[in-house]
């Protein structure tokens, strides 16, 4: 028995011994940084797209071209600045709707996760509403609230609130019962338990719910503007499509895509800030 074996198992020892030494890792091999392959693929696709458009293989009426999309983006963002009112409208709808989703979703999730009777009473309806496509409820919202900002915000709330509720209540149920019992042994009340024990322990689940909720909320902004708004990026895309302005359609789609990526990135940064142990755990799992 070697010294390392006596000291306990290590990662290398957990791999079955095949009786032969592993081949040395080749030296001089080019290792590209993480985002480089994706960027290379993007450049290749854009170049092929542009070449196909110039050669006439791609109908510009439907697919436009990267050059035309770029010129259209410069026009609406810099030259004439016509896109900013739509951006402001969509951004305001998203901000208000998602803020309401957070304010409503986290407390409801905490209560449902904490009290079994409430969970058994409310959870079936939460799951049923979460399983129902929010866009299917848009006609009902329009009948009740009318066409306009109010029904749009309501649809955004319906899209964003349920991931927050479900993930929050799951996080509460996953809290270590020993922590709760220990706090109770020191005569801690419900308020102390919620603010000092349950909510901090449920932060990873809450942050996961926020990440899911913000993307669903953004999707609902787009859907609402397709049907019940005369402003916003969704309405801009519909108008451009009706005028066969494919370059403007792709500019609007690109704006929504980049917004989703940015929001997901921000949510991830906030998750690492308020729950840094998640990143450390993921790093350990990748290194294992």
The answer, yes or no, to whether residue 53 has pLDDT greater than 60, is: yes
Confidence of residue 12 (pLDDT cuts 50, 70, 90): very low
Q: Note whether 100 and 157 are within 8 A (CB).
A: yes
The CA distance from 93 to 99, in Å, is: 10
**Predicted pLDDT at 67:** 94
pLDDT at position 1 is: 46
Q: Does residue 167 surpass a pLDDT of 90?
A: yes
* For residues 108-127, average pLDDT: 92
Which of the four pLDDT bands, split at 50, 70 and 90, describes residue 199?
confident
Residue 32: pLDDT band by 50, 70, 90 thresholds?
A: low
Q: How confident is the model at residue 154 (pLDDT cuts 50, 70, 90)?
A: very high
User: Which is more confidently placed, 104 or 196?
Assistant: 104
pLDDT of residue 45: 92
Residues 246-262: what's their mean pLDDT? Answer: 95
pLDDT above 90 coverage of the chain, percent: 52
More confident residue, 196 or 29: 196
Q: Which pLDDT score is estimated for 31?
A: 53
pLDDT of residue 192: 81
Q: What is the pLDDT of residue 3?
A: 40
Looking at residue 7, its pLDDT comes to 44
Q: Is residue 206 a contact partner of residue 106, using CB atoms and an 8 Å limit?
A: yes
Tell me the whole-structure pTM to 2 decimals.
0.79
Using alpha carbons only, give the angle 83, 40, 72 rounded to the nearest 5 degrees: 20
Predicted local distance difference test score (pLDDT) of residue 237: 94
Predicted local distance difference test score (pLDDT) of residue 284: 53
Q: How does residue 246 score in pLDDT terms, banded at 50, 70 and 90?
A: very high
Query: What pLDDT, on the 0 to 100 scale, is given for residue 180?
Result: 77
Q: What angle do the packed helices 246-274 and 199-227 form, to 10 degrees?
A: 170
Most distant CA pair in the chain: distance in Å? 79
Q: How confident is the model at residue 181, as a pLDDT?
A: 77
């Amino acid at each position: 028995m070697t010294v390392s074996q006596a000291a306990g198992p290590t990662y290398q020892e957990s791999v079955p011994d095949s009786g032969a030494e592993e081949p040395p890792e080749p030296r001089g091999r080019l290792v590209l940084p993480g985002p480089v392959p994706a960027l290379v693929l993007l450049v290749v696709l854009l170049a092929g797209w542009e070449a196909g458009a110039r050669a006439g293989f791609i109908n510009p009426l439907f697919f436009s071209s990267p050059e035309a999309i770029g010129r259209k983006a410069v026009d609406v963002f810099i030259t004439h600045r016509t896109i900013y009112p739509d951006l402001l409208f969509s951004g305001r709808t998203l901000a208000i709707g998602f803020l309401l989703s957070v304010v409503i979703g986290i407390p409801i999730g905490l209560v449902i996760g904490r009290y079994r009777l409430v969970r058994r009473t409310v959870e079936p309806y939460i799951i049923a509403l979460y399983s129902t496509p929010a866009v299917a409820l848009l006609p009902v919202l329009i009948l009740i609230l009318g066409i306009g900002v109010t029904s749009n915000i309501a649809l955004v709330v319906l899209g964003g609130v349920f991931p927050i509720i479900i993930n929050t209540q799951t996080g509460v149920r996953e809290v270590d019962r020993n922590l709760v019992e220990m706090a109770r042994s020191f005569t801690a009340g419900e308020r102390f338990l919620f603010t000092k024990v349950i909510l901090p322990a449920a932060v990873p689940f809450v942050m996961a719910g926020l990440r899911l909720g913000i993307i669903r909320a953004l999707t609902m902004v787009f859907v609402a503007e397709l049907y019940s708004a005369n402003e916003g990026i969704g309405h801009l895309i519909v108008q451009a499509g009706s005028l066969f302005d494919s370059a403007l359609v792709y500019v609007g789609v690109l704006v929504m895509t980049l917004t989703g990526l940015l929001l997901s990135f921000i949510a991830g940064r906030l998750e690492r800030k308020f729950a840094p142990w998640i990143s450390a755990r993921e790093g350990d799992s990748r290194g294992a």
